[in-house]
Amino acid sequence: MRRALSVLAFVPLLIAAAPSAPRTSAPADPRAPRWLSGMLLEARAERAVVTRVLPGSPAASAGVRTEDVLLIVDDQTVADLRPSPPVGLFRRIDTWNNSGRAGALRLVFGRGSRTFGVTLPRAGGTPAAATGPIEQGKPAPAFQGRDLEGHAVDLAALRGRVVLLDFWASWCPPCRDAALVVRRLAAERGDRLVIVGVSVDEDPRAYEAFVYNQHLPGFQIHDGGPTGPITTAYGAAAVGLPYSVLIAANGTIAATGQSPADVEAAIDRLLGGAAKSSDPDPS
């Protein structure tokens, strides 16, 4: 009897020393702000709005600003995500941040009445291209490449002519609108204006399809992605897509803009006006 009592005396000690069952953390608020590539996204009504951008982060290097609204992720419209746009997006962000897998995201943001596309790493990582936008009046960075037809394109060989560089990507909806402007400029300015398109697509098949489907004029070069040599040299990834750079006949930067329409006045100054075509969009 006495031995049994002594054993029972140790029972509370054994229970106290036993490891407790792991506690499961409460699920995070599905609408709580989420970090993605150095930017903080906050749910406002049914929108995902950038409320903070860390200096030096991939998002900052790509030109993302506070109050930008995320519209498209990898060809998926945020407004179509379920159960609701912010919750569906934030669940995906949680998956990306917890997976530890590398990879890039193609994002389209809205800023006021304009939209622009960028490519960012899924989590952490380095900026796609840290080079900032080029400056007006500076010499245009030299480049060489081959277009879809295999023709050599060398900026040095184009000295003495006005050149429009048009940076685009097939996944960027605003680039489709810019393509309409490029076709019109080609029709109206003819051979007086040299058009060189630079694709930021990683997939060469997407590049080829966009060139054919959008009937892009001039020379169209595949730069291999957001870290391609031409894209990096001109800082296109730092300002978003589409991006237009006008190069004067003397080889200096004459103007830059989001759309080719933004540099159209500068084109006319350099060319002395537009020569109107009877068919402004020969597609």
pLDDT digits (tens, 9 = 90+) for 160-203: 999 999 999 999 999 999 999 999 999 999 999 999 999 999 89
The full set of domains in the chain, from first to last, is 34-121 (2.30.42.10), 144-271 (3.40.30.10)
Question: Residue 210 has what pLDDT?
Answer: 97
Res. 35: pLDDT tops 50:
yes
Q: Can you tell me the distance from the alpha carbon of 134 to that of 233, in angstroms, rounded to the nearest whole number?
A: 8
Phi, psi of 256 (to 5 degrees): -135, 160
pLDDT given for residue 22 in this prediction: 39
Residues above pLDDT 70, as percent of the chain: 81
222 φ, ψ (degrees, to nearest 5): -95, 115
18, exposed or middle or buried, with CB in 10 Å at 0-12, 13-18, 19+?
A: exposed
Distance spanning both ends of the chain, measured CA to CA: 102
pTM: 0.75
Q: What is the reported pLDDT for 124?
A: 54
> Please, what's the largest Cα pairwise distance for the chain?
113
Determine the pLDDT at residue 238.
Answer: 72
Residue 263 has pLDDT above 80, yes or no: yes
